[in-house]
Amino acid sequence: MMSKGLLIVISGPSGCGKGTICEELLNRNKSLSVSVSATTRSPRKGEEYGENYFYMDEKKFQEMVDNDEFLEYAFVHNHYYGTPKQFVFEKLKKGEDIILEIDVQGALNVKKIYPEGVFIFILPPSIDELKNRIVKRGTENLRDIALRLRNAYEELNKAFEYEYLVINDEVPNAVRKIEAIIIAEKCRAVRQRSVIKSILD
């Protein structure tokens, strides 16, 4: 009997490096795939439809909400973001491991619906370093930077609602820690029912 895949939910404040960490995880672990979210924000330079996000207007997004097509959705940084259900559940059913890189609000909604997920919060080494990373990114104006820092304080206060906390001091270190978490989660007895059953039979 095939074991269900892991739903690995990764969150953290804007600028903490969660996107870079997820990219490295995917490069190093070909068995992992990422869920592509829908959003009403415009694509940034270099981003592509269907790879980074499914970009859409608010009317289309609301239609998907009305049809209950999202695992979660949230309004963050003046835009809507949502995780399409069908993609995620089909992958998990096939035994594939899926990474969800989403904001705190969305992650906590997923936890209510799918508590067996693995919830990991990425921490910056410090608030000063977080600000430096956002500024160096060069994709936000001063007003947006201030908004993201205010939101960061709120998000950090919810970090203990996650099972795991990983400090992103260096990306390779953070990636190795998450890989160790995934291995440990796969070895949990509650996820090994089919293995135990096959031995007993």
Annotated binding-site positions for ATP: 12-19
User: For residues 30 and 45, what is the distance between their CA atoms, to the nearest angstrom?
Assistant: 26
* Helix, strand, coil distribution of the chain in percent, nearest 5: 45, 20, 30
User: Which residues participate in the annotated binding site?
Assistant: 12-19
* DSSP-derived secondary structure for 31-71: TEEEPPEEESSPPPTT--BTTTEEE--HHHHHHHHHTT-EE
Instruction: Give the number of other Cβ atoms within 10 Å of residue 96's Cβ.
Output: 15
d(CA 166, CA 163): 10
